[in-house]
């Protein structure tokens, strides 16, 4: 029998798993892959971005509420989920930026903070790990720290001399970075909206993009998962404090999204198997290895 395929997705906060790669995870769950989301922080310092939830009772219980939202999203996606237990760093604003809160995730020593993730990798034994690029996808301190911790754990988990107290070594075979938005994707959705006679929510975004690097050329792997976009959106809505159901994320009609850009996109950052690029499967090269065992 072929070995059971396993995917680990490492994210900074509850809701990140539903806005980055969620349709891909739902697709693999439907195909019988074991999927574990690792959430580094509790999202305690996240903003309340849904006006209907911006209430004193919500703010007073934000940590508990965000955990309950994560439970709901986990059930919708069909995944397993684990907390690393670090405290949200918040998103500093101002000029100059204020210091980060004492004890928060982004201020941890990377090698120390990687320990709990190494333990999970050795317990779950993922073949593939996904996380953020070196910029965190966008420059939130927790996202950048998630990148650092994920890379450190990926490199240490298979080494018997590192973290020997944290379980039997296990080496994941591939590491990917989520590429949530590229200029090509935004342009495709923008043009599809205009062709349909609809107002595009991306016009201002494209204007701002002139001063930003495009991550499109970094994409190595495009996973066809349009069938699971509705599952992704249901999981997003489960994070009611973070996602306004009448907001930006849901302005583009579903059929238009599926037609204009039917994939979620990734950059292959590390690979210990042979998988020629470009790819359409995060397990390219892994499936052959597992069948051979």
pLDDT in tens, 67-114: 999 999 999 999 999 999 999 999 988 888 899 999 999 999 999 999
Per-chain mean pLDDT for the chain: 95
Mean pLDDT confidence for 140-164: 98
Coil, helix or strand at residue 25: helix
The model's pTM is: 0.96
- Sorting pLDDT into bands at 50, 70 and 90, what band is 124? very high
In angstroms, the CA 173 to CA 158 distance is 10
- Helix pair 22-30, 62-77: axis angle to 10 deg: 40
Instruction: Specify the CATH number of the domain 6-181+216-292.
Output: 3.40.50.10320
- Quick: pLDDT tens for 5-19: 999 999 999 999 999
Domain boundaries, the chain: 6-181+216-292
Judge whether 13 is annotated as a binding position. Answer: yes
- Give the pLDDT confidence score for residue 270 in this predicted structure: 98
Judge whether 16 is annotated as a binding position. Answer: yes
- Locate the DSSP E strands across the chain: 6-11, 34-41, 80-86, 128-131, 174-179, 221-224, 263-271
Judge whether 147 is annotated as a binding position. Answer: no
- Sorting pLDDT into bands at 50, 70 and 90, what band is 204? confident
Better-predicted residue by pLDDT, 215 or 210: 215
């Amino acid at each position: 029998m072929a070995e059971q395929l396993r995917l680990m997705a490492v994210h900074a906060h509850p809701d990140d798993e539903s806005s980055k790669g969620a349709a891909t995870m739902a697709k693999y769950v439907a195909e019988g892959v074991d999927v574990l989301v690792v959430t580094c922080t509790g999202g305690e310092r996240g903003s309340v971005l849904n006006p209907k939830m911006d209430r004193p009772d919500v703010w007073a219980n934000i940590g508990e509420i965000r955990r309950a939202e994560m439970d709901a999203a986990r059930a919708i996606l069909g995944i397993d989920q684990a907390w690393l237990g670090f405290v949200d760093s918040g998103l500093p604003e101002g000029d100059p930026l204020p210091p980060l809160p004492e004890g928060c995730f982004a201020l941890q020593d990377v090698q120390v903070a990687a320990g709990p993730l190494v333990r999970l990798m050795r317990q779950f034994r993922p073949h593939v790990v996904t996380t953020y690029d070196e910029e965190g996808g966008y420059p939130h301190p927790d996202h950048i720290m998630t990148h650092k911790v994920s890379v450190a754990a990926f490199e240490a988990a298979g080494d018997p001399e590192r973290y020997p107290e944290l379980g039997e070594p296990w080496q994941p075979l591939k590491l990917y970075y989520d590429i949530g938005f590229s200029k090509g994707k935004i342009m495709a959705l923008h043009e599809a909206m205009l062709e349909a006679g609809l107002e595009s929510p991306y016009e201002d975004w494209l204007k701002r993009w002139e001063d930003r690097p495009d991550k499109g050329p970094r994409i190595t792997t495009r996973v066809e998962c349009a069938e699971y976009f509705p599952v992704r959106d249901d999981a997003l809505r489960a994070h009611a404090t973070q996602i306004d159901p009448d907001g930006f994320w849901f302005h583009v009609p579903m059929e238009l999204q599926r037609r204009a850009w039917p994939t979620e996109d990734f950059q292959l950052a590390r690979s210990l198997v042979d998988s020629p690029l470009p790819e359409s499967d995060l397990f390219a090269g892994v499936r052959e290895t597992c069948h051979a065992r």
